[in-house]
Amino acid sequence: MNLGQNLEQDRSLSVLNSLDDPIICTSEKGVVRFVNIAARQCPVFSGEIEGKVLSSPISLEEKNSGALEVLEQAREQSGWNGCVYLETEKKNRCFKLQVTKFAIDQDDEPHYLWKILDETLRNGFDNIVSKEQFCRLVIEKQADLVVAVDTENRFLFVSPSYCSFFDKSEKELLGQTFLPLVHEDDRQNTLDEMQKLFVPPHKCTITQRVMTSNGWRWLQWVDDAFLDAENNVTSIIGVGRDISDQVEMQNEINECKNNLEKLVDQRTAELVEANKQLQQEVIERQKKEKDFQKSQGRLQSIVTSLHGSAINVINAKGDYLEAWADEEFEKDTGIKGKDVIGQNISFYFPPEKTVELMAMIAKIINTGESVSFEYEYPTPNGMLWHEANVSLLKGYDDEEDCVVSFIKDITSRKKVEQTSLEYQKQLQSLATELTIAEERERRHIAQLLHDDIGQNLALINIRLKMLQEQIEDEKKAETLEEITGIISDTITATRSLTFDLSPPILYELGFEEALRWLLEKYCGNLGIYGSFYKQGTSPELDDNIKVLLYHVVRELLVNISKYARAKTIQLEVQNKKDLIRIKIKDDGIGFDPKKLTGHNNGFAGYGLFSIKERLRRFKGSMVIKSNPGHGTRILITVPIDIKPGNEQ
């Protein structure tokens, strides 16, 4: 591709202006017509040189006077390269100017390009013979990316560095638009910025992400528009640079800056809050100091008004600094409050308890946490139960931090709790006995329904069918047929009731087959899928455990059918050496087990309590795991050799 055939005069000047090398352009007489940005900053020239003659008047020393002679030689020889050596005002900096003759105007008026190089860099322009060759050589040597596009964003020129950067050939790119290479989130911004090229000053800067052979990279472009004689944009040239490392570094800097600002804000807020707390503590301390003497008298009055209570102040060594107790507490324990002051806790507690209390005091002083606990204390009147609430007391009497303990006699409450536990055990026993008695009665009723009522109904049905065959009257025959149908439905209902009361399969085929039948029944009624699994050899179960587990599983399946909205139910029986496990799993809507306290919850209240209490009677347990939207898993565990009444 011939760059001179596609770019006009101002394109070449724009390319020269973007170069890092100092370049100037003069006429045949040495008048400076163009100075690129790098030349304006070059120490060779100390002032504005555009429009001046390239000789002593432009702040060059005597060595520079040969510039016009070089121009004269270049004027006589087409394509001649010559040079003149210059020195700046600083004697330690030497430069040389190399000149090339070429036609830059449309009328081909000869002009001369001067490239300023450090004298130590004597490589350069020896082979440059035309404006086109010079521009192409400069572009090819650039690490930056150089492209030219038309007003429809199609490539007119791509530099070798651009092709290498995108791992594409010049042939693949020319005539194609660059937008597919740009990240889709940056395309609209790129087009918006390029609109600035169509209005003065016809320049823009664009930052965008592009897809390269090494993935997404950040580029920054400096674009210039080229105009025709009527100031219409004919093409655009852009110089781009990979700034991915700078962007990444800037992002890291911004992140560090944000983190630092957050940390400063956090520390500032903490200092402000700490200062407020400190001021508040000072105010509170001053107030406490003023009221301390009054509070002691009031505290004594409060303690004496309480029944069976005491307050102690204890330091880190376990010594009692203060002690107050009401008359009832002193009478029950046989200890006077005034006699406690000055004593150590080891005087009142055995060694192992003393070690435990000292560790607790140290923890409270170090962490500020409050501790509550109950303990038994021997007295002349027998063992008493006390409840102690121990908290931190900072800077007591301007000394070290201490703890304050509020002690209350809870012996009466403990007796009530013990009575309640005994009642609870009795309730557990009654619940178990009730279940056993209920199953015994259910089985008796079911046997009556099956042996007596069921058989009688079947016999009646057979006799009626025989009678129906002997009657010739159609109306009477239809009536008998209707009666036999009702009796058949009654027989079916009787059998269903028999299985609901006490399924014979539980005693005839065994516990596991009864559970399988129970699962199939409920899944069949709901129209959902049920699966039954068994592990281990079936043990010989006590009838009481067998009946208990059967009814527990039935109650749980009833609740699943009512509330779970499940599509599948899994029932698994695991037979171990000394226990049996039953796992029930569904894929229903699930629930929060912590909320099983409401009266309107079908899986809560007395039903759940009854199941757990009946299992506990046989030293068994039930664990429920569920989350809303994630189904429910229930694990029932019962030891095989435990008899009712041996619960822990």
Lowest average pLDDT, out of 102-116, 225-239, 433-447, 556-570, goes to 102-116
| Helix ranges (DSSP H) in 1-40 | 3-6, 9-17, 37-40
The reply to whether 283 falls in a domain is no
- Distance, CA of 501 to CA of 499 (rounded, Å): 5
- The answer to whether residues 160 and 227 belong to one domain is yes
- CB count within 10 Å of CB 78 equals 10
Q: Which residue, among 355, 301, 179, 155, has the nearest Cα to 237 in the 3D structure?
A: 155
Cα dist. 216→28, 42, 169, 208, 245 in Å? Answer: 49, 37, 19, 10, 12
| pLDDT (mean) for 553-569 | 89
Give 28-58 pLDDT, tens digit per residue.
777 888 888 888 877 766 677 787 876 533 4
Q: Name the domain boundary from 110, 140, 170.
A: 140
- The answer to whether residues 320 and 215 belong to one domain is no
Give 57-69 pLDDT, tens digit per residue.
343 333 444 555 6
Helix, coil or strand: residue 110 = strand
What's the pTM value of the predicted model, to 2 decimals?
0.36
Q: Which domain holds residue 328?
A: 306-405
- The answer to whether residues 532 and 605 belong to one domain is yes
Residue with the larger pLDDT of the pair 162 and 138: 162
**Number of domain units in the chain:** 5
- The answer to whether residues 509 and 634 belong to one domain is yes
By the 10 Å C-beta count (0-12 exposed, 13-18 middle, 19+ buried), 267 is classed as exposed
Q: Which residues pair with 212 in a beta bridge?
A: 215
Helix (H) or strand (E) holding 146: strand 145-149
Q: Name the domain boundary from 452, 481, 501.
A: 501
- The answer to whether residues 425 and 520 belong to one domain is no
Residue 135 has pLDDT above 60, yes or no: no
- Distance, CA of 298 to CA of 517 (rounded, Å): 73
Lowest average pLDDT, out of 483-487, 567-571, 631-635, goes to 483-487
Residue with the larger pLDDT of the pair 268 and 423: 268
- The answer to whether residues 450 and 586 belong to one domain is no
Amino acid at 65: S
The reply to whether 197 falls in a domain is yes
Angle, vertex CA 61, rays to CA 55 and CA 67, nearest 5: 35
- The answer to whether residues 76 and 98 belong to one domain is yes
Give 522-539 pLDDT, tens digit per residue.
898 888 999 999 998 888
The reply to whether 249 falls in a domain is no
The reply to whether 288 falls in a domain is no
The reply to whether 215 falls in a domain is yes
By the 10 Å C-beta count (0-12 exposed, 13-18 middle, 19+ buried), 183 is classed as middle
Lowest average pLDDT, out of 294-303, 436-445, 613-622, goes to 294-303
Residue 318 has pLDDT above 50, yes or no: yes
- The answer to whether residues 459 and 598 belong to one domain is no
Q: Name the domain boundary from 349, 374, 405.
A: 405
CB 621 within 8 A of CB 637: yes
Give 153-202 pLDDT, tens digit per residue.
999 999 888 998 999 998 899 989 999 999 999 999 999 999 999 999 89
Residue 158: CATH number of its domain = 3.30.450.20
| pLDDT (mean) for 609-638 | 87
Cα dist. 255→248, 250, 252, 259 in Å? Answer: 10, 8, 5, 6
Q: Which residue, among 393, 392, 397, has the nearest Cα to 289 in the 3D structure?
A: 397
Q: Kindly state the percentage of the chain with pLDDT values over 70.
A: 73
The reply to whether 633 falls in a domain is yes
The reply to whether 431 falls in a domain is yes
- The answer to whether residues 355 and 481 belong to one domain is no
Look at strands 529-535 and 568-575 and give their pairing: parallel
pLDDT tier, 6 (very low <50, low <70, confident <90, very high otherwise): very low
How far does the chain reach from its first CA to its final CA, in angstroms? 97
